[in-house]
């Protein structure tokens, strides 16, 4: 019972879907029901998710005991920019099924964060993805600033279904995009 309350409190109360920015998790991972909700939301907004069979992966440290992942999902996600619009990115992760996966929140793990050289500003609640170049206290041009929200549980989360606020493209160069990828073992 207590675990269900914890997991449900990691989602935002406004109904927006989100993933926990979790430096304590190595890989991105998501429970099956949340994956279905996100895929449905993406499809309703005209974006096509995909799933693929993957080599079985055992996951421990989430829920009780060890859980199995046999499928991976890749979903176009709409992430707020902090300016009132959103940008389209891609989120790929193994799906936890069964009893434990039924309440598991989405985790944006350290592997993805490191791949993008992410900086977490806990004071301003932002996830910063630096542009090309050396990271200094002065952020390089092209840095993506992703606003984070605090879930009722106290976890920082990134909204992933803000499709209605996607910036309209007007030609020219496509805006910079991130693929939050989790590598299979």
Q: Are 176 and 32 in contact (CB under 8 A)?
A: no
pTM > 0.85: yes or no = no
pLDDT value at 134 more than 80? yes
Sequence-separated (6 or more) residues with CB below 8 Å from residue 122? 156
pLDDT tens across 20-79, in order?
998 888 889 999 999 999 999 999 999 999 999 999 888 876 666 778 889 999 999 999
pLDDT value at 160 more than 90? yes
Confidence (pLDDT) at 170: 78
For β-strands 66-80 and 50-60, DSSP reports them as antiparallel
Q: Are 28 and 91 in contact (CB under 8 A)?
A: yes
92 pLDDT band (50/70/90 cuts)? very high
3-state DSSP of 83-102: CCCEEEEEEEEEEECHHHHC
Confidence (pLDDT) at 184: 65
Confidence (pLDDT) at 4: 43
């Amino acid at each position: 019972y207590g675990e269900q309350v914890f997991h449900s409190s990691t989602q935002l109360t406004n109904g927006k879907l989100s993933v926990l920015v979790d430096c304590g998790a190595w890989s991105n991972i998501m429970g099956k029901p949340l994956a279905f909700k996100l895929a449905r939301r993406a499809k309703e907004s005209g974006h096509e998710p995909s799933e693929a069979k993957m080599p079985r992966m055992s996951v421990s440290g989430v829920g009780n005991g060890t859980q199995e992942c046999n499928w991976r999902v890749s979903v176009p996600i709409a992430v707020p920019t902090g300016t009132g619009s959103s940008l389209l990115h891609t989120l790929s992760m193994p799906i936890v099924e069964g009893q434990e996966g039924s309440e598991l929140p989405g985790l944006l793990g350290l592997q993805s964060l490191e791949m993008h050289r992410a900086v977490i500003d806990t004071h301003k609640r932002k996830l910063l993805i630096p542009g090309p170049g050396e990271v200094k206290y002065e952020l390089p041009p092209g840095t993506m600033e992703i606003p984070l929200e605090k879930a009722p549980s106290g976890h920082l989360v990134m909204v992933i279904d803000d499709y209605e606020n996607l910036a309209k493209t007007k030609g020219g160069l496509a805006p910079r995009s991130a693929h939050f990828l989790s590598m299979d073992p």
